[in-house]
Structure 1
Amino acid sequence: MSEELRLRIVSGIVLAVVVLVSTWYGGIGFRLLAAAISLLVYYEWSTITKLAEKDFQANAIGWLGTALVAAVTVLGEFDYAIPLLLIFTVLTAILSGLRRGSWWLPGGVFYSALSGISLAAIRGEDSVGLAAMLFVFAVVWATDILAYFVGRAVGGPKLAPKISPGKTWSGAIGGTISGVIAGTAVALVQFPNTGIWVACIALLLSVSSQVGDLFESFLKRRFGVKDSSRLIPGHGGVMDRVDGLVFACFAAFLLAIGLAATRGDPAASLGGLLLGL
């Protein structure tokens, strides 16, 4: 076993333990993890897109907005976090327009801040939130792992050759099927009466996670970088590891918010809505 592979395995185990333990205990520990992911994603996004080089002051406002949303997320005040996210996204968009700056700035604020909010909101404070988060993890991880192995074993037409030459349609389909099976199994073990709903949600999240993977590949190719950073030994950056998870959480969060609004119950458990409870 090479030193690089050993390093990759060790750091991967450490990351998995940190994520799963914080998910299990929930509360402020998980919200801190979500906020840290949000800040690190903005750091990598701003580095890749060279926002500080293009407009240091505007990027500082982007940092301020992301940090404020992360702080409010840690406190669990999502009713304030979402308006702050929208305010700073619009503010940085206006700044970019007036100063002829980079539109990657408001995109980075929105992407990174929503990452933390969606993760923390789905986990919530109760056992249903834990079940919902494990459901999301199962879908995303099974999709990612099986897409890789099925794609290598079967091969065939490329999924998006100009964005990510290694991805194939066979891998995408295999990953989606695996994600649906894994997510549905995790949900049914905990809530046997959830029915076909969770399979449909698992399908949505699996596709969303692959879109997120492709989006980050596009971003890195657009700016000519291999990894989002070198923060994680053997794995690259945080964005390299959470690209699919972030997009799946976006989809899950927005869907749950929409369902809560439809039911007229903004205080409903987002995890419960996601699982059809």
Structure 2
Amino acid sequence: MKQRLVTGIIAAAAFLPIVLIGGLPFILLVYIMSAAAVAEALKMKKIAVFSTAGFLSILLSFVMLIPEERAGEWQLLGFGKLELLLLFVLLFLVNTVITKNRFTFEDAAYCVLLPLYIGFGFSYLIETREAGIAFVFFALFITWASDSGAYFVGRSFGKRKLWPEISPNKTVAGFYGGIASATLVAGAFLFVIDFPAPAVWVLAAATVLSIAGQIGDLAESALKRHYNVKDSGTLLPGHGGILDRTDSWLFVFPLLHMLQLL
């Protein structure tokens, strides 16, 4: 627990100033985090990061990270994201032929899904930062409050398991404790800062994002359980890897973007 707390403090102290700075340093950090998360997920399936498939998968995640509204600035020979995605799919399938099916169709599908899951998720982190730093901190604190509330309420009162086949330690009490904690933090946001959204939207969004974040956590737990690994990586002692710490974000930030459109 002590190691987990120390690592969390150090990571937050390194990450939050870059969020405040924004711009190119923030975008570069998100690209690095995305590449690290994809690399961790590749290792789960025992696909070498330093291989053709590994290189293509990380490169595709970078393509997915580019915001849609900047399409005109980065389009290659008139190709958009959809065309480039198709090109990568074809390249992965070519790799199955070149390797004589040592790199299988299933491997190709995995290497395409990863950048969609991770790259698109992180792309909305960049878009949210460009929309306003208040929304980034709102999402981060809601997610952290939800995680902490689920952990402490679950340990204190949790008896009924939430989804034991996927994550044996999560409880129904923890699930509702996470939502309650997220809602309390959202309420505090309304008093601490001049948040650019109505109070009803803030409280409703906190509930929805807490649920989404917990589902995102469960989705990554399902991936780890399928490949029989405890953590996605070891970069963050006490927490696991980058994907372990950002799995909730990959659900929260896209959903937050959708809620902002309402």
When the two structures are superposed, what TM-score results if normalisation uses the length of structure 2? Answer: 0.83
Flag the 1:6–1:174 CA change in 2: closer, same or farther, 3 A. closer
Find the aligned partners of 1:148 and 1:84 in 2 and give their Cα distance.
Answer: 42
SS in 2 for 1:147: helix
How far off its partner does 1:23 sit? Answer: 1.6
Q: Does 1:245 align with 2:241?
A: no
Alignment map for 1:1-277 (pairs within 5 Å):
6-52=2-48, 56-70=51-65, 72=66, 77=70, 86-93=82-89, 99=96, 100-102=105-107, 103-124=109-130, 129-191=132-194, 194-256=198-260, 259=261
**In 2, are the aligned partners of 1:139 and 1:206 still within 8 Å (CA)?**
yes
Over the residues paired in the alignment, what is the CA RMSD in angstroms? Answer: 2.8
C-alpha change, 1:117 and 1:59, in structure 2 (3 Å) is same
AA aligned opposite 1:151: G
SS in 1 for 2:247: helix
Q: CA deviation at 1:115?
A: 2.8
Post-superposition offset of 1:92: 4.3
State the one-letter code of the partner of 2:256: A
Change (3 A) 1:66 1:131: same
Pairs aligned (count): 247
- Distance of aligned partners of 1:27 and 1:160 in 2 relative to their CA distance in 1, 3 Å threshold: same
- For 1:228 and 1:84, the matched residues in 2 are separated by 31
- The residue identity in structure 1 corresponding to 2:204 is C
After superposition, the C-alpha distances for 1:4-48 in whole angstroms (9 at most, x for unaligned) are x55433322110111211122222222222222111111111111
Identical aligned residues as a percent = 33
- Secondary structure of the 2:121 match is helix
Give the 3-state SS of the residue equivalent to 1:165 in structure 2. strand
In the TM superposition, what whole-angstrom CA distance separates every residue of 1:75-110 from its partner, at most 9, and x where no partner exists? Answer: x94666898654454444456667423222111011
For 2:189, what is the secondary structure of its paired residue? helix
Distance 1:238 1:97, change over 3 A: same
- Which string of whole-angstrom CA distances, capped at 9 and with x for unpartnered residues, describes residues 172-219 of structure 1? 011011112212321453236722011111111111100010011100
Q: Which one-letter code corresponds to 1:101 in the other structure?
A: E
Runs of 5+ unmatched residues, structure 2: 97-104
The amino acid that maps onto 2:146 is T
Q: Which runs of 5+ in 1 are unaligned?
A: 260-272
Letter in 2 for 1:184: G
In 2, Cα distance between equivalents of 1:86 and 1:148: 40
1:90–1:253 Cα change, 3 Å: farther
**What SS class does the counterpart of residue 248 from structure 2 fall into?**
helix
Change in 2 beyond 3 A, CA 1:9/1:133: same
TM-score for both structures, normalised by structure 1: 0.78
When residues 231 and 124 of structure 1 are mapped into structure 2, their CA distance, relative to the original with a 3 A threshold, is same
Deviations 1:152-184 (A, max 9, x none): 111121110100011011100110111122123
